[in-house]
A and B are shown apart, each in its own frame.
Chain A
Amino acid sequence: MAGRDDAADKGAGGSAATPDAAVIEALANAGVEIEGVTHTTHKAVRHPVVRIIEAITAAFGVIAGLLLIAATVVVCQMIFVRSVLKWSTIWQTDFVVYSATGAIFLGAAYVLSQKGHVGVDFIQSGLRGGVRRTVDRIGMLAGFLFCAVLAYSSWHYFHEALTQEWRTETVWAIPLWIPTLPLPLGFGLLCLQYVAEFIKYEGQRS
């Protein structure tokens, strides 16, 4: 995918964790030990705030991955139950939809840290010096702004669902706050990750 910023790809002094390392680190943080994998130590020192934020977003990245796996398994279980056992399915559809949707929001911040959100870099990568820095900063600020507004909006939505005790309009009828919780969490994490991106960017400039 297109790196949004060739220089920033290298992270703070080339210390950005490789994707695998970040997942392993997050798993380790979550208390999961992987056999045969030695815990990666980073050669260069990352800003402590960046380290904390990226550990949090990577942990949610792992949760997002697990939710996607769960959704895949439940879809297969649903086919089995309905076509082989000929039973009706009640909770499966809701579970699949809400876990997959939740995964998208919970994983978004981790994907940002991995430069996984595609951007158009051909103009910005052609710029040099101060103009380039200004454009980079505006881009990050604009991204932060959008995520912050959505964090507020989705908090409002979640809060209403919780206090008004809304339920989903499906057979299962679970409280709506559960499937809407990943929205404020996800956009909140995106805001946090943008803070980390700022720190990494400025650190690399100085």
Chain B
Amino acid sequence: MTPVLAGTLLLLALLVLLATGMPIAFALGLAALGGLLFARGPGVTDVLAETIFGGIANLAYVSIPMFVLMGAAVAATPAGRDLYGALDRWLGRVPGGLVLSNIGACAVFAGMTGSSPATCAAIGKMGIPEMMKRGYPASVATGSIAAGGTLGILIPPSVTMIVYGIATETSIGRLFLAGVMPGLMLTVMFMAWALYDCWRKGYRFDDAGRRFSLAEKFAALPRVLPFIIIIAGTLYVLYGGIATPSEAAGAGALITLVTVTVIYRLFTLKSHLGIFQSTMKESVMIMMIMAAAELFAFALSSLFITQTVAQTIAGLGVNKWVLLGIVNVFLLVSGMFLPPVAIIVMAAPLLFPIIVNAGFDPYWFAVILTINMEIGLITPPVGLNLFVLNAIAPAIPTREVLWGALPYVLVMMLGIVILCIFPEIATWLPNYVMGPVQ
């Protein structure tokens, strides 16, 4: 069987399994199992567990549950409402002020967690009902949260950057820094779109004409304090030369737990149980998908699919921007069908040498890849943020959410184009803080 035929069959098997609604992790794993049995025979079952264990028992991956824990701890409190409430006092008079506040709150929250669905859930749980109450259409409310939530994996800490760092042996600290400016850029672009859209449609739903005095505006600022403590504390541990990213994750989780416990008086065991339970659920979900993706990557290379694709792309001899275009289309399409961590585990080791040989910066490429993954999070059929929105606002049809999120997808594509023209947006900060790449 040729690698092309094998690859097509493997992809078809995966799609059929996914269509049954079974967990993505097990669908990936079972399709991989089929491919491996074909390529290597029944003896392969002896090495499956070793492949999985070797793939995920890694100190850097330990940071994933801990960055998820940071988000879960904050999400268990009314902190999300306080955050956008404070922002709303400043932005309340602007057309679509609450939408802007929610996008801003997503960006701040993204600075405390590595996960997009967590960002989406934490801000959306309180933000969507509030926006609807003030009269925003469902598509505007959910679309902005779906898109704002994707910032979770671009603004550090970031689960996808950690996985990319391991898969390509690049510095996770540097990757995090590379995501900062593009993350802020996308936040501003999202806000600009929301502002324009709400102004164009004439949405002005402030608090029934209530104006906040300057004193009231400043009085709301201390509510943002816990977020500043958490973000500053984690950044200090991370870049103050104290610890590696995975250690910083542990310290960040502890700082977050202590901060929210003190400020929001979470002194019962039950509230902490809830935090650990949701952390465990999301971490297990993400890591099982990664474990299965390790098997899938093993199947792809056993069937010589990886090598064939790499050789084909290298043999095209096209202009490097055409090459980047092809890679982008590939990432966008795979992002529609698989969660980000699975794609990075499988595709990063394959694409990385191609991209670096073409003369692109590996840290800049991590940002491009992450934005592609963000788009995948809000496009069907597999969009984790869409699933989250469906869970927190079940009455709103997915069609409305998609319609509301579509403009933000275009904004992200524009963001990719801007980053291609000005790669310094991604590379300047890491070079400034950590010095040029050796």
**A: which residues have CB within 8 A of B?**
1-5, 19-20, 23-24, 34-37, 61, 64-65, 68-69, 71-76, 78-79, 83, 93, 96-98, 100-101, 103-104, 107-108, 110-112, 114, 116-125, 135-136, 138-140, 142-143, 145-147, 149-150, 152-154, 156-158, 179-180, 183-184
Contacts and interface: CB of A to CB of B under 8 A. Distances in A.
Contacts of B253: 72
B280 A111 contact: yes
B288 A117 contact: yes
B29 A146 contact: yes
B45 A153 contact: yes
B337 to A, nearest CB: 8
Contact of A101 (B56, B243, B249, B391): B56
Contacts of B387: 1-2, 118
Contacts of B58: 97
Contacts of B52: 150, 154, 183
Please name the 8 residue pairs, one residue from A and one from B, whose CB atoms are nearest each other, closest first: A75-B250, A139-B20, A117-B23, A124-B21, A154-B49, A139-B22, A2-B387, A157-B49
17 contacts: A1-B117, A4-B21, A36-B270, A68-B69, A69-B276, A72-B69, A83-B243, A97-B58, A101-B61, A104-B283, A107-B280, A138-B20, A149-B33, A153-B46, A153-B47, A156-B46, A184-B49
Given A36-B268, A64-B284, A120-B381, A180 B247 contact: no
Interface residues of B, number: 70
Contacts of A97: 57-59, 62
Interface of B: 17-27, 29-30, 33, 45-50, 52-53, 56-59, 61-62, 65-66, 69, 117, 237, 242-243, 246-247, 249-251, 253-254, 268-270, 273-274, 276-277, 279-285, 287-289, 291, 339, 380-382, 384, 387-388, 390-391, 398
A146 B21 contact: no
A34 B62 contact: no
Contacts of A138: 20
Contacts of B398: 122
Contact of B21 (A139, A153, A157): A139
A114 B391 CA distance: 14
A20 B283 CA distance: 18
Contact of B250 (A72, A110, A123): A72
A136 B251 contact: no
A109 B117 CA distance: 21
Given A64-B284, A116-B284, A142-B26, A100 B62 contact: yes
B49 A180 contact: yes
A75 B251 contact: yes
A120 B18 contact: yes
B339 A118 contact: yes
Contacts of A121: 21
Contacts of A83: 242-243
A184 B53 CA distance: 11
The residue among A61, A104, A139, A145 with the most chain B CB atoms within 10 A of its own CB is: A104
A110 B380 CA distance: 27
A156 B45 contact: yes
A1 B388 contact: yes
A75 B289 CA distance: 24
A191 to B, nearest CB: 11
B238 to A, nearest CB: 11
A150 B292 CA distance: 11
Contacts of A123: 19, 21, 381
Given A75-B62, A117-B25, A122 B48 contact: no
A78 B246 CA distance: 11
Contacts of A146: 26, 29-30, 33
A158 B254 CA distance: 33
A69 B252 CA distance: 13
Contacts of B251: 75-76, 79
Nearest to B51: A153
Nearest to B18: A120
A43 B30 CA distance: 37
Given A1-B391, A149-B48, A23 B277 contact: yes
Nearest to B44: A153
